[in-house]
Amino acid sequence: MHRQVLTITLILLMFNVFGRDEGSTTDDSGLAFEDKLAACAACHGVNGDAPLAPDYPVLAGQYKDYLQSALSDYKTGRRQHIIMNMQVEALQLSDSDIERLSAYFASKSGVVGLGE
Ligand code: HEC
C-alpha cells in the first residue's frame, strides 16, 4: 500500500515537471491528450512496453478493444484497482481519450518472449 501511495504522489509531482507543449489543446480537465499519455508512460513506458514494476501490465500490442474495455471498466468501477481507478479519475479520461489511448498502445509492438 505504501508503495502505491508513493507512486501516486510521484505521478502528481510529474504533472508539474512536464511542461505543456505550446499550442496543444486541452479539454475540460485542463490537460492535453499528450499530458494524459505522459502520465500513462510513467508507469507503462512511452510505448506501453516498459512497465515500471513487474506487476504493471504491458499495454503495447494488446488488442485495442481489450484496452478500451479495461479502461472503461476502471472508469465505471466495474474493474477495481486503486491506481487505475485514480488515474482515470484524476486525468478525467473521456470516452474519446480512452479510444485514442487504446489505439495508441495497441499500435505499438508487443513484448516478445515474456515468460519464456
Ligand atoms: C501509477 C502507475 C500507473 C499509471 C500512471 C497508469 N497505470 Fe495503467 N496500470 C497500472 C497498474 C498497476 C495496472 C494493473 C491494475 C490491475 O491489476 O487491474 C494497470 C493496468 C492498466 C490497464 C489494464 C491492462 C490489462 O492488461 O488488463 C490498462 C489498459 C491501463 N493500465 C492503461 C493505462 C493508461 C491508458 C494510463 C494513462 C491514462 C495508465 N494506465 C496509467 C499502473 C498505472
Give the chain's domains with CATH numbers: 2-17+32-106 (1.10.760.10)
**Ligand 1 centre and the CA of 57: distance in Å?**
7
In whole angstroms, what is the distance from residue 71 CA to residue 88 CA? Answer: 8
In the prediction, which pLDDT does 12 show? 62
In the prediction, which pLDDT does 111 show? 76
Q: Give the mutation target among 12, 27, 44, 97 for probing the ligand 1 site: most ligand atoms within 8 A of CB.
A: 44
Structure-model confidence comparison of residues 89 and 28, the more confident one: 89
Is the CB of 106 within 6 Å of ligand 1? Answer: no
In the prediction, which pLDDT does 113 show? 64
- The residue whose CA has the least distance to atom 25 of ligand 1 is 57
The H-assigned helical ranges of 18-111 are 33-44, 64-76, 82-90, 95-106
pTM of the model: 0.84
pLDDT, tens digit, 9 for 90 and up, residues 28-76: 889 999 999 999 999 999 999 999 999 999 999 999 999 999 999 999 9
Do 73 and 9 meet the contact criterion of CB atoms below 8 Å apart? Answer: no
